[in-house]
A and B are shown apart, each in its own frame.
Chain A
């Protein structure tokens, strides 16, 4: 049997053939014969090497080199260089299309990819790729073998809880909507992923839109809905585009529209775009937005399951909730329930951002500990700094500290610790983070996004923000902490919707775990983490400074003075704390200090 030391795969897709692939292949064979290499190098035809619009494409193994755009005239040179001299010809080389993309990468230890299983592996703009991965098999099973009640039963038994943050059992929600005797019924997918730091839904919508669509069709069948909307935020234009293409392709194959798969069940889907309002992630505000109104929430009851879009029964679930459904149907409720903890079944995607080495998306079984997420999956804190806190649940979540690192991540545990699962955004903060600044930061966000309808939120968050700004600005007063606590409790109890009810959470949880930082800011006018501009100073070390004048020349406020070759000084009354001097100093002579007032006020 001939032993080949090298294989050359020539892409013979129609596009490549139209660009001369076969002639190239012949030229290659001829040259290999002429060079006496034909017994060592085998030429094969293949398909889908990718990038066929710039073809012909060839792939050479064992090196795994992808060459593109060759002509017959290039062949002698290629054969001589690559096969005789063993040198890769860089100018024809293109990067190999990798299997997993940069954002996701291959699964990290402890990851179990259920919702993310296809992302980066299939072409989201090709429904056949999805079908090849058992796509729409669940729908076929549902429409031909199961009644709506059986579908609801299966989903209920699986223990799937809403992945948008509240964790309400999905099966029960569907049942509630199903039993309302009113038609038509609607289905909504909440794709308004507005939590800063959360981009899991984006990835699924961009990488595997059909998993969501299939889940929605199954849900619609279960509750008896005839029309669905995917409400996607406008900041995700790629996701919107991918969804629209996917819906079109599904319609063309008869998977959406009238009489799906000849079952008698009809359902159609539409994408609705948001317009930049975080509050529209709240379901009643979302419904208002679909109806063409301001995204202002309304009181519940009545819940959307009873009166939703245009006052008709509506089921609303998160992207990730729907994306789990096809696999629950195919693999069974028991399979899903085998992962996770007793009350929190299945897996959850998380977006890890902040001061960790591996930021990005992960999907892990519920019940994993924070320590495992941050250190094993997240690769630990960047620059080997100390871990300070992790914010979970977005701007309405809370922060957890080092003492909670071994807490299990599931719905109940997090709530009992004063945090919230939320949609899955995790922001990790290292020792150089000021927690008062973080509270101010989140409050700034929620204040801006408050819809303004109810006084506790509209006015309350403004007052909270004002107090926090004063504290960070060095004007904190005795009594501020108590005032914050009282306000937080009032706002939480009396706000109309989840935004207002949750807005005080970052303040409450940072006060709970980092009260000493607040006290330092207020009573000592000191920022322990050296972040708050009004409380820090940039100082040049006299021992290290060489007087090179680089900092003085770069200071935008002309705050640095000194003779050449003599240590320089910064005038704190002129300094704007921009940090440029510390950046340009070649000797690391400039440090940030926060000493506060020496006489502590009690």
Chain B
């Protein structure tokens, strides 16, 4: 297969594969994770390289496969100029951040987890910018929200990290829902979810009646993701993430995803007054609010966070202006902001790393401690302020120019350049604060660490980015021009307008505005002391974040209120309502039916044995009700009930059910014994007498109803679905055991889901039990001391002899399962019991030494084998999980029907063993923590 026809999906999926590899490799060597993450990124760049060449030559690449045509979902990727710009930013800055993070993370932090999240996020971002199909784009969009949640909450032990991550997820996830609705509307209007069609349908969409709702919904998605007012507050709260994450998410990727969509839909949605009002106004407010609040942040990263919000507002505003030249300026600023903001975040991380704090009131005068870093930071901050000869200046000039062009006649229009200049003033002021407070302004105050230069490799990414800032600022035509040109072409989907990247345009209005911003910024910074005091007393505390918290609290209150209205926390109450309603409906059903109660079938003759067995069942069930307060005895009696039920299954020709019932019965006893150890031995009496009568009558009536219903059904001849399966079992599934063939073949997909749930349940229980410490009782319920001998010798010996025999039975039941009673599930339970028996008789430690494989890998292997079997069928061109079967002649066994479903059954077997043993043994380990040693009688 020619790689150049699949390189787009390959580049997107590579980081996801890399994430798994990195997480695995980190077990062996910490730094290997960083190396592998870097190599994955380079590989993705390499795979994309030929495609980028083609795009720079003016092509648009589309690689598409039909996926689910019924809902318009294709597996489709697209690379044009806009996608190329973003893909390059994601990968190049990603590479620098990986190098930086390698030195940033301390020995306590898990490298594998970090780089695995990082690569997952990178892949999701690439998916967003390279998707041709909008539904597929949506999937990657949600993935960025999820993976950024993992990144922001990377330091899981910190409350603020968890809270910041939750907030980011709630806001961006909520916006994602709005975006999905917008995209669905868009697809309805155009009749296709493919960007190629949507981009051509701009006229049609703008004239459509649903244009406005679509625009608003998509805008909400964009605003939440790109931290636009009033959704901006999640971004500063996400600053509790490790700094490499901030450098990556808030410069080149996450927050730019929303901006990317603005650019993507620019030719489709822009150019209407609605667009300009909505996008432009929000952009302007965000620009001003961000720049204003940034000045008052004492936290280094807080300042950068609000500055990011402000710059995002600037880009949004430019797109909102709606002209082609404004879009050019926006794209240019996207590139410039990514370079200087990434380097500034990295500098903030270095300072935090080397001084132990980010509080600008304490870190002062760092110039002499870290001169190299200081120079880098000053250049990057100057670029942020828009100082000439740096890249920020060029795009800011373009912005001012567009602000002047847009001003027009109206009063509101006149305000645009004024507000733009005002934002420029604040942006200069906070950049100046970043430089002056941190690197000058006297001596450091009370730092936890003695500051010094970071390791050289931690600085290299900053070096690279700052050199880019200067190179673009001085020689734009030789550096950024080609990239900007293709990006503009890709965004506008047409002939790009004339624009000039020159540094000097003569004395004009933008230059004047730049000058005012610089001088004004210095002036504002000069009077900062009274300004700070005013801000502290008046503005602080008026934050949107409090409104958010209040709303979330209210929401939870309402939800709790509704829940409490129905669920009073009493199982009896809940059962009463559910069962009472069932009884009502059942009675109504009986009464409304005119048919005779019993059917025509002749009843089977009654024999004495069945009578005895039936009596046992009934009496044992009754006994378990009467004795339910004594939990151990109730358990014994329940064991008898289960046994008799399985006997009944045998009698009425359901051997599969009987075998399953038996195995489950034993496992249940072991499970409950394990739990009972930590629980009270007796259930206290709590219910009032009238409740007992009420519940007893209800239960009796329901039992009667169920019995009558069963009789009514069983005495009738009915054609059931079973006949179809019985006749199709051998020709369609290659097995004579209908039950097993249904499980592994006809309903294979269900079983696949069930074993996945089983594996998840096993893992969930494993995770839940990890931190639990339970105190074991020192004596039994009657106050007797426990026996001295932990594992009686006779028991040990016999259980060891039995182990291979039980496994042999399991193998036998498994192999035979496709044709006669048995199969992977029952065999799995038997094998699991064999292992559990060793744990019971010989102890957990003894068994763990001999069965070394971890049950996690059994679960994983089982799921892989089961899914792999299905995949093989797909690879051969059949639907997922299609089964094939053939006859083989084995030397001893004889003629044998071999079906591919047996491999699937193998997966079921492995998962059942893994989950059962894992759950039981983990429960068994509970008391190994802090268990007080029993006081032995006679020894004291």
| Same complex | no
Contacts from A to B (Cβ < 8 Å) = none
Contacts from B to A (Cβ < 8 Å) = none
